[in-house]
Amino acid sequence: MSIILKNIELLKNNPQDVEIRNKLLRASNLAGLAFSNTKTAAAHSMSYPLTISYGIPHGIACSMPIIPLLRINEKAIKTQLNTLFDKIGIANLSELARLILNIPKNIIGFTLKDWQVSKKHLDDITERSFTKSRMANNIINLNNDDILWVFKEIY
């Protein structure tokens, strides 16, 4: 994550820069290796109905709930978050949220509203977001109210 956050704005400004692209390719590879060892969790589980029913690209659908999920999990992963904050030179989760939200800015929609998801469908999307093996892999146990809150946060 630190590699991405340190390089993504550089790539947005210099999309042909091979060195920056190589750094981001390495970050993508490392993320894939991490997923293969730990498996995916809540964000992935929540992405499935968004991609299937609304055509939101999988990577975007997985990324959109990251900030609210980090807020829900923050107390349980405080040490790991502080390590990340130190690595990328920020102080807190609010600063991380700002960095993450800046990535898709002016490039692609990053809210459910941007993707024409109706608020009246949030309960149904919440119900369909519980892929047992994925949701169970979250740091803390999540229930329907937690997931509905996340969807409302990214609306």
- The span from the CA of 20 to the CA of 61, in Å, is 24
pLDDT at 2 over 90: no
Q: What structural domains and CATH numbers belong to the chain?
A: 1-38 (no CATH), 40-153 (1.20.1090.10)
Express each pLDDT in 116-128 by its tens digit. 999 999 999 999 9
- With CA atoms as reference, report the closest residue to 99 among 114, 84, 116, 77: 84
Express each pLDDT in 32-73 by its tens digit. 898 888 888 999 999 999 999 999 999 999 999 999 999 999
- With CA atoms as reference, report the closest residue to 54 among 140, 153, 130, 124: 124
Supply 126's token pair.
Answer: 């919440």
pLDDT of 39: 85
Q: Residue 46's CB: how many other CB atoms inside 10 A?
A: 28
Supply 45's token pair.
Answer: 């589980």
Q: Residue 64's CB: how many other CB atoms inside 10 A?
A: 28
Q: What is the pTM of this model?
A: 0.89
